[in-house]
Amino acid sequence: MLLTVQDIHKSYATADGPFAVLRGIDLTLGAGETLALTGESGSGKSTLLHLIGGLDTPDRGQIIINGSDIAALDDNGRAHLRRGTVGVVFQQFNLIPSLKVADNIAFQARLANQYDPAWTATLTDRMGLTSQLGKYPEQLSGGQQQRVAIARTLAPKPRLVLADEPTGNLDEGTAAIVMDLMLELVRETGAGLLMVTHSAALAARLGRRLHLRAGQVA
Amino acid sequence: MNAKALVIALLLPLMANAQGFAGLGSDSAGFSVPAPNPTFDFPRDHGPHDDYRIEWWYVTANLRSADGTAYGLQWTLFRSALAPTGGAGWAAPQLWMGHAAVTTPTDHYVSERLARGGIGQAGVTADPFSAWIDDWQMTGDMDALQMTASSPDFTYDMTMTADGPLVFHGDNGFSVKSAAGQASYYYSQPFYDISGTLSLPDGDFAVTGTAWLDREWSSQPLADNQTGWDWFSLSFDDGAKMMGFRLQQTDGQNYTSATWIAPDGTATAFPNGAFTAAPLMTHTTANRDIPVRWHVQLPEKGVNVIVDAINPDAWMTTSVPYWEGPVRVTGSHTGHGYLEMTGYE
Amino acid sequence: MTRATLQALLSHWWRNPLQLFTLLAGLALATALWSGVQAVNAEARASYRAAAATLGEGQYDRLGRRDGQPMDQATYITLRRAGWLVSPVVQGRLNGVRIVGIDPLTAPAGIGPVRLTQGADIADFLVGNGPLFANAATAGRLPDLQITITPDIAPGSAITDIGAAQRLLGKPGQIDSLIVAPVQPRERPDLADIAPQLVRQSAQGGSDIGRLTDSFHLNLTAFGLLSFAVGIFIVNGAIGLAFEQRRPVVRTLRALGLPLRRLIVLMAAELMFFALIAGGVGVMLGYVIAALLLPDVAATLRGLYGADVSGTLQLRPVWWLSGLAIALGGTAIAASGALWKMSRMPLLASAQPRALAMAAGQGAVMQGAAAALLLVIALILALTADGLIAGFALLGALLIGAALALPIILDRVLAATSARAKSITAQWFWADTRQQLPGLSLALMALLLAMAANVGVSTMVSSFRLTFTAFLDQRLASELYVSAQDATQAQAIIAYATPRVDAVLPIQSVETQIAGLQTEVFGARDHRTYRDNWTFLNAAPDLWDTTFAGQTILINEQLSRRANLRIGDTVPLQSQTLTIAGVYGDYGNPIGQALISEDLFAGLYPTVTPQRFGLRMDRSKVGDFVTRMAADIGIPASQTINQAGIKAFSLGVFDRTFTVTTALNVLTLAVAGFAILMSLLTLASMRVPQLAPAWAMGMTRAQLGRLELLRAVLLAMLTASLALPLGLGLAWALLAVVNVAAFGWQLPMYLFPADYARLGLFALIAAALAALWPAWRLARTPPADLLKVFSNER
């Protein structure tokens, strides 16, 4: 199994005391599988995604990716996981504004020492970014920026792709095109995909769907 | 490097070049040069000869205190000329260097003074005789001298009375120093009785003994290939005395010379090779290996003796360093004397 | 991984050259200010050291004639022949160059750094044909002489053999002083028996130059210290902003899998690289500053204290090192805080640029507590400090405490003003200003420190000037001073002057001990000159009456402080016991001094006769009198001192001091202004969303721009009004604590409101200039950019 999540708990300190965001979540995801995480705002779906991405640590429970428990990893180990094994697509794109599109796309693969020029060229071409390579992110539209971000995430060929409302900042038409491209390319790489979305329509396009309510699987 | 050290290094280029000890092998250009068959004119010749490059008044003494402790004493005034003639006052070309030392069986005290000629700080007058640098002085006439010196460690005040005639070395005072003919004028007064007071860090001591004055001047007494010497002045218990020196050459050979002085002062000169001196034992002092036991022979006079330093650490820490100290003589003859060794770098 | 990361980090600067410029320029300016002041200090000190090494000043005791005249060479020979190990020195001036003749054979080792190369003809040197040794600048002033260039020789000095020096200076057979070798023979006669005309000056007592010039250096060092504080704030600001600007990128890099440790190492390396570059530029800038200031400093020191300082700068490796160390150290201090914050920054917080450095409530409380603590420490130190270290601790606590308190005070002031504002525009303006405060606070702290430093140092220098000129008035009250060479000449002067002038005041003194301290006791004639001109730090009633009646004694501040003597205490003097009636300031004098009546003096020291005289007369008649005295009784003008001339000279010296101070003032303000500019430019991009609503509600862009300018000036004005009391506190600490600890005398503090007003104006101009460009840019913001704030989609 690519990903196994067992009994995850997470709470945050607030002015009114600890607030439990996740209260015992279990899920599994195999290679090539796609899973939509849905739920209302505050249901904990983004938190769960961050925990799986190693961006944060759970209070309790296990997250096992490719057989290793990421809770047992230190910052270095989690960074290593994020570089090569897991790729994250953010709602805010999070491109590096001072790097040109070409460098942004190659960035994570280079970071992971998994840069494959041929694959990167393929991604660029499929994303329709070939003519944009010399530009800076601020010169692109939102849809183009997210395509750069997706290409960057897929360039090192991650085993698991995490996406957090990847089209949340895009208009409907653009969102559909970007989503098609992402699903197609993830399928081709054989990676597992876990996507947070509040859109039932988008969720329906994925293999499975997990709905969260108040920190638990509904 | 400070000015003084440089002055010394350049004036007396022992360290600067290998031309021989204290510049004695340097070129004699412009200066007078000793010639054979000299006629001395006393008291004038007790005074300085400014047209010669180098000259000295050199007293060494073997002393004993009431408790029998052996002491050595040295009082030396060197004159070194920058040029055979020159200006007056500060511009006078004569430089003076004084060395004074007291050697005990365990300690060796050294002091040095430097002065310019021409301003009265140092000099020698022949009649009345006076040789001085700062407060160090030797005055009187050659038969009766007062001699004083001072340093932060010691002072001494001595009276010397001559008990014999002047002795002329080599060929009537013309002393040849090398096969190439380098020479100096050289005479001695080896017959002084000496007495006085030594003030040392551990007290004042009344001492008596014998002293030996050397007078020598030249402009180039050493050959280019000579780098130093071992000089012996020995007084035997039977009243005879002997001066012998061995000049070290860069080819490993030596040039020796000796004067045998009978108790009545009659001198016999011996040419190169008659006198031999061979080191038997060395001692490390001031990071140098110095021979402190010698096998000294003058077969023609039946001399076959061992010469031992009383204090092997009698190293002169002066601007031009050398070894100078009292010795004990045993073997065919017994007695005491002084040993000077230069060129041990 | 490293290459990709470095590319990402460095590309930021490539895309934002202005930010890079502000970072580098801030670092470079801070370094320049520090290293410039240090360079001036170091150069001057190196000059003294060279002088001291040249002459053994301060290292060896010396013998000289009581009357300061040269001695006969025979005296030297007498001493040598008596066993005194002394070495002769002759000196004088030729074309303004101090020619020093030494005898290398007798001089103690280390005297005269004469670099004779192996090839040099030492024989020629000793027989008087050899060269002089001097540095290149000095050599240029002696064109006709054979000079060997030797950089180690003190500026303005040339060393040569004593024989040559005697000839050059026209002093044949004369010797000015004798250096006493530290180790002497066991037995030697007393000096009094063989050369009674000579006095021995101990090594420390003889070295007044060092002590006196130290007071000037204290001014410069204080300035250096304060400018360093300003510099550190600027560096801190520049680094803090650089980190703030890249906060989102840092998050992204970490999210993409860059380990935190690697990121910190790379960012630290990047900053150190910049610090090296900026430090290098800063040292060069500092060199320029120092080169511009040094001629004035050199002139000041030469005039005020007679110390020769090279007017040209040598680039010393130690500045490079210290300048780079300051740049690297300042960067490290600033960066370690920023990097620490970064390491604690949660990966997940919103990646949006945070409102700049919005101090969290807890942070503000901490800062307030630290400020309060430091200010309390400063207060305690102000009441108790009596040492140099405590004095500098006081300065440090006061400065840092005030700087930390500044944002809090400004915030309160703005909140209060905002609450009272009537119009809605005004209310918005005040509230918005208050919101800007955190982003500007570092720059404002720098401005505060720069202004306070300027107020403090200006006050100190001006107080010094006032005090010193008043002191000159007091001490040089007579119009003309005449020195006699011997008792006969003294009698001739008295006889000649008495019928021709208003008063003849004998000046006579002996050196003795009071309370175990070396003290010079003067005997003064009862005359209104003293009663009218002398001012006292502490005075008993009728002190002149009792003193001239021979009942009391007046002492200087140095003696009072060191021996802990106060008014009413008694001191024994020879057979007499005298009550202290007054304590007077005696600036720059290293030893104790006391004054008693002429009659009492004559009774206590019957062998001392006066050889100097102060003559009171109409100022206009001085020149004429000097000429006629020379003609009538043969006292040359060289034996007289015209008081007016001395005063004019001293004031000229102070004017030079002011040039230096003013230049440094302008410079520190420029640096502070730059910090403001930098902060405003950084804030500008974040200002657009904040200003857009105001624009949308009907304010024009020009109006907004003007308000931005006004805001900067207002903040500067508020800061300036706080800087004034801080600067005065600083001046007080410098004058009353540090100076006393360093030199044993207190300088009275005077206030110079006009100077402060001018400084305040400078500060406002600096702030306005700094705000001008950002405001102009704001006024030109395209409406589309403002509109974007309201659109969801970009």
pLDDT at C585: 80
pLDDT at B258: 96
C173 part of contact set with chain A, CB < 8 Å: no
CA distance A57 to A10: 8
For residue B74, what are the domain limits?
3-341
Domain co-membership, C223 together with C344: yes
Q: Which of C103, C164, C185 sits opposite B151 (nearest CB)?
A: C185
pLDDT at C744: 65
pLDDT over 90 for what percent of chain A?
30
Over the stretch C511-567, which tens digit does the pLDDT of each residue have? Answer: 787 877 778 888 988 888 888 888 888 888 889 999 999 899 999 888 888 788 889
Over the stretch B227-269, which tens digit does the pLDDT of each residue have? Answer: 888 999 999 999 999 999 999 888 888 999 999 999 999 999 9
Residue C58 gets the label, from left (phi > 0), alpha (psi -120 to 50) or beta, of left
Count, in order, helices (H) and strands (E) of chain C: 24, 20
Q: Is B2–C111 a contact, with Cβ atoms under 8 angstroms apart?
A: yes
C351 part of contact set with chain A, CB < 8 Å: yes
Whether C55 has a pLDDT exceeding 70, the answer reads no
Over the stretch C483-519, which tens digit does the pLDDT of each residue have? Answer: 787 788 888 889 999 999 998 988 888 878 787 777 8
Give the bridge partners for C640, in sequence order: C482
The residue count of chain A comes to: 218
Find, among C244, C396, C276, the residue nearest to C31 by Cα.
C276
CA distance B90 to C275: 58
Domain co-membership, C300 together with C337: yes
Find, among A42, A49, A52, the residue nearest to A12 by Cα.
A42
In a domain, C373, yes or no: no
Q: Which residue has the higher pLDDT, C401 or C218?
A: C401
Q: How confident is the model at residue C203 (pLDDT cuts 50, 70, 90)?
A: low
Over the stretch C269-315, which tens digit does the pLDDT of each residue have? Answer: 998 999 999 889 988 888 887 777 776 666 555 554 455 555 555 66
pLDDT at B241: 96
Give backbone dihedrals phi and psi of A107, rounded to 5 degrees, phi first: -60, -55
Q: Is C185–B87 a contact, with Cβ atoms under 8 angstroms apart?
A: no
Domain co-membership, C503 together with C543: yes
The residue count of chain B comes to: 345
Q: Which residue has the higher pLDDT, A122 or B23?
A: A122
Find, among C66, C51, C39, the residue nearest to C289 by Cα.
C39
User: Interface pTM (ipTM) of the complex?
Assistant: 0.90
Q: Is B134–C123 a contact, with Cβ atoms under 8 angstroms apart?
A: no
Whether B18 has a pLDDT exceeding 50, the answer reads no
C203 part of contact set with chain A, CB < 8 Å: no
User: Of C319, C354, C389, which marks where a domain is finished?
Assistant: C354
Question: Burial level of B39, CB count in 10 A (0-12/13-18/19+)?
Answer: exposed
Whether C56 has a pLDDT exceeding 60, the answer reads no
B86 part of contact set with chain C, CB < 8 Å: yes
Whether C445 has a pLDDT exceeding 60, the answer reads yes
Q: How confident is the model at residue B43 (pLDDT cuts 50, 70, 90)?
A: very high
Task: Tell me, letter by letter, the H, E, C secondary structure of chain B.
Answer: CCHHHHHHHHHCCCCCCCCCHHHCCCCCCCCCCCCCCCCCCCCHHHCCCCCCCEEEEEEEEEEEECCCCEEEEEEEEEEEECCCCCCCHHHCCEEEEEEEEEECCCCEEEEEEEEECCCCCEEEECCCEEEEECCEEEEEECCEEEEEEECCCCEEEEEEEECCCCEECCECCEEECCCCCCEEEEEEEEEEEEEEEEEECCEEEEEEEEEEEEEEEECCCCCCCEEEEEEEEEEECCCCEEEEEEEEECCCCEEEEEEEECCCCCEEEECCCCCEEEEEEEEEECCEEEEEEEEEEEHHHCEEEEEEECCCCCEECCCCCEEEEEEEEEECCCEEEEEEECCCC
Count, in order, helices (H) and strands (E) of chain A: 7, 10
pLDDT at C206: 36
Which of these ranges, B233-242, C334-343, C368-377, C465-474, has the smallest mean pLDDT?
Answer: C465-474
Q: What is the mean pLDDT of residues C744-770?
A: 82
Q: Which amino acid is at C734?
A: L
Report chain B residues whose CB lies below 8 A from the CB of C173: 89
pLDDT at C775: 83
Write down all domains in chain A, each with its CATH number in brackets.
Answer: 32-55+76-213 (3.40.50.300)
Give the bridge partners for B162, in sequence order: B192
Counting Cα atoms < 13 Å in the Cβ hemisphere of C606 gives: 2
Cβ-based neighbours of C451, under 8 Å, separated by 6 or more: C669, C672, C719, C720, C723, C724, C727, C759, C760, C763
Domain co-membership, C33 together with C118: no
Two structure tokens written together for C154: 């003190």
Two structure tokens written together for C134: 């001097």
Q: Which residue has the higher pLDDT, C190 or B60?
A: B60
Whether B5 has a pLDDT exceeding 50, the answer reads no
Cβ-based neighbours of C544, under 8 Å, separated by 6 or more: C526, C530, C531
Number of structural domains, chain C? 3
Going by the DSSP 8-state scheme, the letter that residue A141 receives in this structure is -
CA distance C578 to C584: 17
Q: Which amino acid is at B162?
A: A
pLDDT at C87: 92
Number of structural domains, chain B? 1
Q: Which residue has the higher pLDDT, B5 or A123?
A: A123
Q: Which of B11, B92, B150 sits opposite C122 (nearest CB)?
A: B11
Give the bridge partners for B76, in sequence order: B58, B99
Give the CATH number of the domain where residue B128 resides. Answer: 2.40.370.10
Q: Which of C109, C127, C187 sits opposite B155 (nearest CB)?
A: C187
Find, among C668, C204, C213, the residue nearest to C452 by Cα.
C668
Report chain C residues whose CB lies below 8 A from the CB of B121: 76-77, 80-81, 106
> Helices C17-55 and C643-696 meet at what angle, rounded to 10?
170
Specify whether the CB–CB gap between B340 and B98 falls below 8 A: no
Over the stretch C635-663, which tens digit does the pLDDT of each residue have? Answer: 877 677 777 666 665 566 556 666 666 77
Q: How confident is the model at residue C232 (pLDDT cuts 50, 70, 90)?
A: low
Domain co-membership, C124 together with C71: yes
| A164-169 LR contacts (CB < 8 Å, sep 24+) | A164/A46, A164/A49, A164/A88, A164/A89, A164/A90, A164/A91, A164/A195, A164/A196, A165/A46, A165/A91, A165/A196, A165/A197, A165/A198, A166/A89, A166/A90, A166/A91, A166/A195, A167/A202, A168/A91, A168/A197, A169/A91, A169/A92, A169/A93, A169/A142
pLDDT over 90 for what percent of chain C?
7
Domain co-membership, C4 together with C83: no
**Residue of chain C with shortest Cα separation from A141:** C794
Over the stretch C81-125, which tens digit does the pLDDT of each residue have? Answer: 999 999 999 988 888 788 888 888 888 765 554 444 333 456 666
Report chain B residues whose CB lies below 8 A from the CB of C187: 150, 155, 199
pLDDT at C397: 87
pLDDT at A11: 87
Which of these ranges, B306-320, C81-95, C154-168, has the smallest mean pLDDT?
Answer: C154-168
Q: Which of A47, A73, A74, A94 is the mutation pick for testing C, counting most C CBs within 10 A?
A: A94
Cβ-based neighbours of B246, under 8 Å, separated by 6 or more: B229, B230, B231, B254, B255, B256, B275, B276, B277
Please indicate whether chains A and B are in contact, defined as at least 3 beta carbon pairs under 8 Å.
no
Q: What is the mean pLDDT of residues C451-466?
A: 78
Q: How confident is the model at residue C204 (pLDDT cuts 50, 70, 90)?
A: very low
Domain co-membership, C27 together with C64: no
Q: How confident is the model at residue C234 (pLDDT cuts 50, 70, 90)?
A: low
In a domain, C379, yes or no: no
Domain co-membership, C239 together with C198: no
Q: Which amino acid is at C556?
A: N
Whether C757 has a pLDDT exceeding 60, the answer reads yes
Neighbours of chain A (3+ CB pairs under 8 A): C
In a domain, C331, yes or no: yes
Q: If you average pLDDT over every residue of chain B, what do you get?
A: 88
Q: Which of C12, C16, C257 sits opposite A82 (nearest CB)?
A: C257
Question: Burial level of C346, CB count in 10 A (0-12/13-18/19+)?
Answer: exposed
Q: What is the mean pLDDT of residues B42-70?
A: 94
Q: What is the mean pLDDT of residues C690-707?
A: 79
| C340-346 LR contacts (CB < 8 Å, sep 24+) | C341/C243, C342/C243, C342/C247, C342/C250, C342/C263, C342/C264, C342/C267, C343/C260, C343/C264, C345/C247, C345/C250, C345/C251
Domain co-membership, C241 together with C340: yes
Measured CA to CA in angstroms, residue B256 lies from B175, B186, B226, B234, B269 at distances of 11, 15, 12, 16, 11
In a domain, C245, yes or no: yes
Q: How confident is the model at residue C231 (pLDDT cuts 50, 70, 90)?
A: low
Over the stretch C3-17, which tens digit does the pLDDT of each residue have? Answer: 888 888 888 888 878
A85 part of contact set with chain C, CB < 8 Å: no
Q: What is the mean pLDDT of residues B84-98?
A: 87
Specify whether the CB–CB gap between C209 and C307 falls below 8 A: yes
Whether B8 has a pLDDT exceeding 50, the answer reads no
Which of these ranges, B162-171, B200-209, B314-323, has the smallest mean pLDDT?
Answer: B314-323
The secondary structure of C615-650 as a DSSP string is EE--GGGHHHHHHHHHHHH---GGGEEEHHHHHHHH
User: Of C571, C591, C617, which marks where a domain is finished?
Assistant: C617
Domain co-membership, C185 together with C221: no
pLDDT at C535: 82
Q: Which of C73, C81, C153 is the mutation pick for testing B, counting most B CBs within 10 A?
A: C81
Q: Is C77–B120 a contact, with Cβ atoms under 8 angstroms apart?
A: yes
Q: Which amino acid is at C551?
A: Q
Q: Which of B5, B134, B135 sits opposite C109 (nearest CB)?
A: B5
Q: How confident is the model at residue C251 (pLDDT cuts 50, 70, 90)?
A: confident
For residue C590, what are the domain limits?
480-617
CA dihedral B268, B270, B274, B277 (to 10 degrees): 80
Counting Cα atoms < 13 Å in the Cβ hemisphere of A130 gives: 6
The residue count of chain C comes to: 794
Two structure tokens written together for C747: 């300088």
Please indicate whether chains C and B are in contact, defined as at least 3 beta carbon pairs under 8 Å.
yes
- Residue keyed to tokens 């309510």: A213
Question: Burial level of C341, CB count in 10 A (0-12/13-18/19+)?
Answer: middle
Q: If you average pLDDT over every residue of chain C, what do you get?
A: 78
In a domain, C6, yes or no: yes
User: Of C617, C632, C659, which marks where a domain is finished?
Assistant: C617
Q: What is the mean pLDDT of residues C172-187?
A: 88
Find, among B253, B232, B327, the residue nearest to B283 by Cα.
B327
Whether C748 has a pLDDT exceeding 90, the answer reads no
Q: Which of C259, C351, C793 sits opposite A75 (nearest CB)?
A: C259
CA distance C749 to C41: 25
Give backbone dihedrals phi and psi of C228, rounded to 5 degrees, phi first: -65, -45
Q: Is A92–C5 a contact, with Cβ atoms under 8 angstroms apart?
A: no
Q: How confident is the model at residue C229 (pLDDT cuts 50, 70, 90)?
A: low
Handedness of CA C443, C444, C447, C452 (dihedral sign): negative
Domain co-membership, C53 together with C177: no
Handedness of CA B270, B274, B280, B286 (dihedral sign): positive
Over the stretch C23-52, which tens digit does the pLDDT of each residue have? Answer: 788 788 778 877 777 777 776 666 656 655
Which of these ranges, B196-205, C72-81, C411-420, has the smallest mean pLDDT?
Answer: C411-420
Domain co-membership, C128 together with C118: yes
B140 part of contact set with chain C, CB < 8 Å: no
pLDDT at B131: 97
Q: How confident is the model at residue B270 (pLDDT cuts 50, 70, 90)?
A: very high
pLDDT at B191: 96
In a domain, C779, yes or no: no
> Helices C317-344 and C260-305 meet at what angle, rounded to 10?
140
Cβ-based neighbours of B169, under 8 Å, separated by 6 or more: B175, B186, B187, B188, B243, B257, B259, B267, B269
